[in-house]
Amino acid sequence: MAHHSIPAWFELATIGALVLILLADVFIIARRPHEPSTRESAAWVGFYALLAVLFGIFLALTSDGARGSEFFAGWLTEYSLSVDNLFVFVIIMARFAVPKKYQQEVLMVGIIMSLVLRAAFIFAGVAILNAFTGIFYLFGAFLIYTAIHQLFRSEEDDEESESKLTRFLSKRIAYTETYEGMKLRTQVKGKKTFTPIIVVFITLALTDVMFAFDSIPAIFGITTDAFIVLTANIFALMGLRQLYFLLASLIEKLRFLEYGISAILAFIGFKLVAHAMHENELPFINGGQHIDWAPEVSTETSLIVIVACLIVSAGASLIIKKKE
């Protein structure tokens, strides 16, 4: 289905407005570092989710319904994968004993670094997809592999991976044992050295790069529109800081959420492979001819599957926890 074009000024204005909202968020945190309450966190998460919903509705009304569906499917996919990131962020914060009053600022810096890195991945990915559609085979196979791997991944695996990264950085960066607010460098016995906050920042950034390897291909299974991909990622990361504090006490209750995320990744991986078969240009597959019997999964179907996976996995987690 062909999309009605969105004016370039609207795309630039949207990105600019979202960046300003994030900068305002940074300013608010810097003025009053504190550990947010559950009520405060829930209010901010609801606010950012409402912004995303309003933006998706606006897209659907002003361009076409397909763009709105693509945004919602992409946003929900990226949001669910970002929630998965939080499991590892909790481990990192505990590993480095980051004071709770500074965790908001640390997370915000990590989120901004994530946006910059993801933007680079997105534009590189769009360029590759436009040049070579066969990459859909690779993306699809990788997502299916990731889905299977996630089914057997445990918290111990996350801790071991994070521990290896920590040891690697510790051998290459000299830093003190104590924090001095958000200062990156301090002076000990007349010598300049780093504080632990620098290692936390690097660990968060590298962790997000690893997560981007499945989250970016996942949204390309829904749309290759760079504007939709970028805005879905920004909206998914907005409010992630508050979601961290909201979910920190609920992580144990959401034990089946990872199964839902695995199902989403497997579904999108299948969709990517099917799309690659339908658009096939590889000479060693079906003689370079399109495989017409390969199914084309609509964005609306994708949206229904994604929502169903999240509702079933989160609902089952809460019901079983309540029974226990």
Q: What is the DSSP string of 227-246?
A: HHHHHHHHHHHTTHHHHHHH
Residue 303 has pLDDT above 80, yes or no: yes
Predicted local distance difference test score (pLDDT) of residue 54? 94
Residue 173 has pLDDT above 90, yes or no: no
| Higher per-residue pLDDT: 69 or 30 | 69
Q: What band does 257 get if pLDDT is binned at 50, 70 and 90? A: confident
Highest mean pLDDT among 7-16, 210-219, 224-233: 224-233
Residue 278 has pLDDT above 70, yes or no: yes
Q: pLDDT > 90: what percent of the chain? A: 9
Predicted local distance difference test score (pLDDT) of residue 2? 44
Residue 314 has pLDDT above 90, yes or no: no
Residue 33 has pLDDT above 50, yes or no: yes
Q: What confidence tens digit (pLDDT) does each residue in 88-136 have? A: 777 778 778 888 878 878 888 877 887 888 888 888 888 888 777 778 8
Each residue of 286-322: b (16+ CB within 10 Å) or e?
eeeeeeeeeeebebeebbebbeebbeebbebbeeeee
Predicted local distance difference test score (pLDDT) of residue 72? 93
Residue 4 has pLDDT above 60, yes or no: no
CB 124 within 8 A of CB 212: no
Predicted local distance difference test score (pLDDT) of residue 125? 84
Predicted local distance difference test score (pLDDT) of residue 56? 92
- 292: DSSP letter: T
For the chain, the straight-line distance linking the first and the last C-alpha, in angstroms and rounded, comes to: 48
Tell me what the pLDDT averaged over the chain comes to.
81
Tell me how far apart the alpha carbons of residues 76 and 70 are, in angstroms, rounded to a whole number.
Answer: 10
Structure tokens at 198: 């620098």
Tell me how far apart the alpha carbons of residues 53 and 232 are, in angstroms, rounded to a whole number.
Answer: 11
Q: pLDDT > 70: what percent of the chain? A: 91
Q: What band does 156 get if pLDDT is binned at 50, 70 and 90? A: low
Residue 249 has pLDDT above 70, yes or no: no
Highest mean pLDDT among 14-18, 104-108, 198-202, 254-258: 14-18
Predicted local distance difference test score (pLDDT) of residue 1? 41
